């Protein structure tokens, strides 16, 4: 990494440390405007208790709806960010064999090529990379199922945090939509009655409009990826990437390659969502349980789809169904 890249990386990291406080502060201020200015100072003073109480209740519910998954992201990034440990300083893929049993105990894993059936090696972390692991330049570490480094949450999103990220975006968008509609209606009413609009009331429209547009754009990007069981990194390379898979048992394996763009982890839209959000539909809405994809088994680092079943059949090996 060049000196300029190091400086840029430090700027991104320091920005990520500040932005979460900014997000929470702005959202809290917007909630104050709805409760303090619109509900208390405007509606209650006119004796319109029903609308005022409704605004207060819905505002509080939506505030905690987005805050809880956001808190789960922040806490998980601090306790279990899904990082791959560093290998020995003198380790190389030619000599280091530590951790290979973890791969050899699985029915299939991504390997280097047909000739080299070893897992992919990270020359920076000096260790083997489990399937879907990528090196994050901002962190200087390999992250399991890395999606992207997100300054809005202060870290790198991966298999341990992606579920909560989707929930945060969804609830934050709903909160912004409610704040925007409520503010716009009351601002228009006051403008019509008094002919003036306080500055804070204008801010109450601008903030949810800006953040709501951002959240909608992110949802429109990530929901298709969720349905296809792809990460941001995988989507960027999906048209031409070819996976080599070492299929078999132990170190005696057959290497088979996919066609360009084939997704070996695609289980179908519903099962793809369940791999991230949870087996129970209740888990889709509650930021409590971790993603099922964190559970590793003998099939693979992640559950393989029909593509790997086909490759296994082409290899003359016994076909195994994905473990769901």
Distance CA 114, CA 111 (A): 8
Neighbour tally for 214: CB within 10 Å: 15
* C-beta atoms surrounding 74 within 10 Å: 17
Backbone angle region of 104, left / alpha / beta, with phi > 0 → left and psi within -120 to 50 → alpha: alpha
- Of 122, 125, 136, 150, which is the active-site residue? 150
**What percent of the chain shows pLDDT beyond 70?**
93
Q: Report the distance separating Cα 150 and Cα 158, nearest Å.
A: 10
72 has a pLDDT exceeding 70: yes
Q: Is the pLDDT confidence value at 301 over 50?
A: yes
Residue 313, pLDDT score: 86
Respond yes or no: is residue 179 known to be catalytic: no
Residue 43: pLDDT above 80? yes
Residue 296, φ and ψ in degrees, nearest 5: -95, 145
Which pLDDT belongs to residue 240? 83
Choose among 40, 242, 276, 283: nearest CA to 157.
276
The CB density around residue 64, as the number of other CB atoms within 10 Å, is 12
Phi, psi angles (nearest 5°) of residue 18: -90, -40
State the pLDDT at residue 45: 92
Q: What number of other Cβ atoms are within 10 A of residue 291's Cβ?
A: 20
For residue 85, pLDDT over 90 is answered with yes
Residue 320 has pLDDT above 50, yes or no: no
Instruction: Quote the pLDDT of residue 323.
Output: 45
| CA–CA separation, 324 and 322 (whole Å) | 6
The residue to which tokens 């893929």 are assigned:
93
What is the predicted pLDDT for the residue at 9? 60
Q: How confident is the model at residue 4 (pLDDT cuts 50, 70, 90)?
A: low
pLDDT tens column, 163-219: 999 999 999 999 999 999 999 999 999 999 888 889 999 999 999 999 999 999 999
Domain assignments of the chain as residue spans, ordered by start: 3-82+152-230, 100-150+234-314
Query: And the tokens for 224?
Result: 């298709």
Does the pLDDT value for residue 129 go beyond 60?
Answer: yes
pLDDT tier, 237 (very low <50, low <70, confident <90, very high otherwise)? confident
- Name the pLDDT band for 322 (thresholds 50, 70, 90): very low
What backbone phi and psi angles, to 5 degrees, belong to 13? -65, -45
- Secondary structure of residue 160 in the 3-state scheme: coil
Strand partners, 256: 245
Q: Are 108 and 312 in contact (CB under 8 A)?
A: yes
In tens, the pLDDT along 95-115 reads 898 989 889 889 899 998 777
pTM listed for this prediction? 0.90
> Token match 């959240």: residue?
215
How far apart, in Å, do the first and last CA atoms of the chain sit?
Answer: 40
Q: What is the pLDDT of residue 252?
A: 72
């Amino acid at each position: 990494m060049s000196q300029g890249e190091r400086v840029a990386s430090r700027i991104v990291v320091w920005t990520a440390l500040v932005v979460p406080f900014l997000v929470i502060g702005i959202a809290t201020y917007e909630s104050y405007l709805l409760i303090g200015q619109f509900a208390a100072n405007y509606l209650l003073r006119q004796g319109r208790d029903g609308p005022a109480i409704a605004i207060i209740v819905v505002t509080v519910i939506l505030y905690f709806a987005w805050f809880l998954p956001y808190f789960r992201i922040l806490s998980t990034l601090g306790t279990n960010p899904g990082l791959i440990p560093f290998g020995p300083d003198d380790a190389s893929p030619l000599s280091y064999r530590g951790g290979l049993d973890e791969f050899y105990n699985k029915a299939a894993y991504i390997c280097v090529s047909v000739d080299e059936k070893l897992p992919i090696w990270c020359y920076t972390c000096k260790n083997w990379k489990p399937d879907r692991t990528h090196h994050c330049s901002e962190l200087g570490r390999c992250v399991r199922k890395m999606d992207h480094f997100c300054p809005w949450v202060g870290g790198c999103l991966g298999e341990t945090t992606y579920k909560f990220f989707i929930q945060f975006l969804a609830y934050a968008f709903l909160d912004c939509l409610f704040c925007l509609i409520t503010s716009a209606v009351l601002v228009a009413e006051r403008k019509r009655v008094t002919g003036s609009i306080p500055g804070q009331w204008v801010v109450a429209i601008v903030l949810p409009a800006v953040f709501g547009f951002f959240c909608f754009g992110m949802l429109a990007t990530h929901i298709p990826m969720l349905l296809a069981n792809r990460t941001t990194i995988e989507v960027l390379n999906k048209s031409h990437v070819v996976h080599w898979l070492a299929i078999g048992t132990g170190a005696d394996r057959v290497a088979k390659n996919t066609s360009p763009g084939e997704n070996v982890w695609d289980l179908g839209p519903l099962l793809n969502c369940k791999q991230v959000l949870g087996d129970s539909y209740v888990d889709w809405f509650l930021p409590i349980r971790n993603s099922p994809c964190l559970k590793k088994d003998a099939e693979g680092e992640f559950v393989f789809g029909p593509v790997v079943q086909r490759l296994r059949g082409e290899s003359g090996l016994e076909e195994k169904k994905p473990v769901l």
